[in-house]
Amino acid sequence: MRVTGPPLLSLRKVSKRFGAVQALKGVDLELRRGEIVALLGDNGAGKSTLVKVVAGVDPADAGVIEWEGRPVHIRTPRIAQRLGIATVYQNLALCDDLDVAENLFLGWEQRCSGARGRLFRLLDTAGMRREARRQLDALGIRVPDVRAPIASLSAGQRQTVAIARAVLGRPKAVLLDEPTAALGVPQTNHVLDLVDALRDQGIGVILISHSLGDVKAVADEAAVLRLGRNNGFFHVPTTSQDRIFSAIVGATSND
């Protein structure tokens, strides 16, 4: 069923230049609550740049960004975070020498109550482990032990932990940059199940992917970029993979 209602995030005529390179040229995009929008395009199309614009890493040079119907200026990642935008990049930014719970709460550490936390600044390790277990179970993430070092997990488990960490701050939108890249079929399916779970929670998801199979499996809408410009918007359930692929390679346009 196609999601209705006002956009959670709306981009209109967004542009971004890096020196002599025009990375984005008047790009439009909309994301609604509980909707998965696949952001597609060949290498160099501007997908990662657009995500970094929304995430506040590389602010837009021109254009309008609206969040929940009002114009906003996302100049820093902290501003994006305060709005309710979380981003999971390809490198995941996990610390191999920390365990699962410590990675989930990295930057969100909880201190003990009373004087132990206030005066001695002791961390509530047991409490964070309980909350980490609850969070993982709620998302259906299969990690046997939250005390396990991140380095001991599979690539798929690491990806799901990175997504769980993003959700810990209760975001309204999550941006995922190639979450299934280099994963096997079972691991990919588990990550896609998790993306589905985010939608079920009413979270808007922007999904960068090179896999049209993954896109057809979970996405509601697809926005294709080519050479930094929009090159098609598609309702995924009713559009063939061939038609979307043609827009990606520039054979057709849906503008």
Q: What is the CATH number of the domain that holds 175?
A: 3.40.50.300
Which token pair is 238?
């009713």
Predicted pLDDT at 224: 98
Q: Which residues contact 39 (CB under 8 A, 6 or more apart)?
A: 29, 47, 50, 51, 206, 207, 208, 209, 222, 223, 225
Q: What is the pTM of this model?
A: 0.89
Residue of higher predicted confidence among 94 and 11: 11
Q: Is residue 209 part of a domain?
A: yes
Domain that holds residue 226: 9-84+171-249
Q: Is residue 201 part of a domain?
A: yes
CB distance 40 to 215 below 8 Å? yes
pLDDT digits (tens, 9 = 90+) for 171-225: 999 999 999 987 888 889 999 999 999 999 999 999 999 999 999 999 999 999 9
Q: Is residue 114 part of a domain?
A: no
Q: Is residue 47 part of a domain?
A: yes
Q: Which residues contact 126 (CB under 8 A, 6 or more apart)?
A: none
pLDDT digits (tens, 9 = 90+) for 81-111: 999 999 999 888 899 989 999 999 987 778 8
Among 8, 55, 51, CA closest to 32: 8
Q: Is residue 192 part of a domain?
A: yes
Name the 3-class secondary structure at 177.
strand
pLDDT digits (tens, 9 = 90+) for 219-230: 999 999 999 999
CA–CA dist 181, 210 (Å, integer): 8
Which token pair is 32?
């609604």
Q: Is residue 242 part of a domain?
A: yes
Phi, psi of 36 (to 5 degrees): -110, 115
Predicted pLDDT at 207: 97
Predicted pLDDT at 1: 45
Q: Is residue 55 part of a domain?
A: yes
What's the structural domain count of the chain?
Answer: 1
Predicted pLDDT at 253: 64
Q: Is residue 194 part of a domain?
A: yes
